[in-house]
Amino acid sequence: MWIFGYGSLTWKVDFPYQQRIVGYIKGYARRFWQASIDHRGVPGKPGRVVTLVPSEDPEEKVWGAAYEIPPDKEGDVMDRLNIRERRFTDRKSLTMYSPGGQKLSESVLVFLGSKQSEFLLEDAPILTMAKQIAESHGPSGTNSEYLLRLANFMREEVPQARDDHLFQLEEAVKKILAERTDDKVTQTENC
C-alpha cells in the first residue's frame, strides 16, 4: 500500500514506512480551500490547509511524496491516518509519476478534503487567504508554519515544479508576518 501526501504529509510523517518517493499525480490542483479546526485553526477561527480539486487540465500536476507502508503495518497506519485526516473524507486511488514522467505506481491512496460546507472554504483573493493563514493557529501549530513548510518541500525536493497558488500565498503571508514584526519593533521602540 502506498499513501500519497501533498500537504503536511510531505514533511510531517508520524507512521512507519518502507520507502519514500517524491513524484506527482495528474488532473488535480492543490488549493488552500480546506478549513482546519483541529490542527491549524480552531472552531470559529479555522485555518486553511490544502485539498485537491479537479483541474480543467488533465495534465496538471500536484507534487508530493508517497510512502510505501509495510504490509504488517497497513491497519495501524490507516487507523492513525483516519484520525489525523478525519476531515479528508473522500479517498481515491490514483496513478503516481516520477519527476521524469514514468509511472511509479498505478495505485497510491490520496485523501481529499471534505465536501461538507463547514470545511470547504473554496476560493478567495490571495490576500484574504494569506491574512487568514497568517492569523490562524491550532493544536498542531501556526497555519503559516504549515504553508511555509509545504513551500520549502517544493523548493528543496522539486525545484523544477511550479505551484503558483502556493508560492503566491507564501509571498503574501511572509509580507504580512514581516509587517507584524516591524510593527512590534516600532511599538517596543516607542515604549
Residues spanned by the domain of 55: 2-190
Active-site residue, 85 included: yes
Instruction: Show the cell assigned to 57.
Output: 487540465
Looking at the structure of the chain, the number of domains it has is: 1
Tell whether pTM > 0.95.
Answer: no
Tell me if 151 sits within 8 A of 171, measured CB to CB.
Answer: no
Going by the DSSP 8-state scheme, the letter that residue 153 receives in this structure is H
User: 142-186, pLDDT tens digit by residue?
Assistant: 999 999 999 999 999 999 999 999 999 999 999 999 998 766 655
Question: Residue 47: which H helix or E strand, with range?
Answer: strand 47-54
36: domain CATH number is 3.10.490.10
User: 61-115, pLDDT tens digit by residue?
Assistant: 999 999 999 999 999 999 888 888 776 778 899 999 999 899 987 899 998 876 7
Q: Which of 85, 156, 171, 189 is catalytic?
A: 85
Tell me if 136 sits within 8 A of 142, measured CB to CB.
Answer: yes
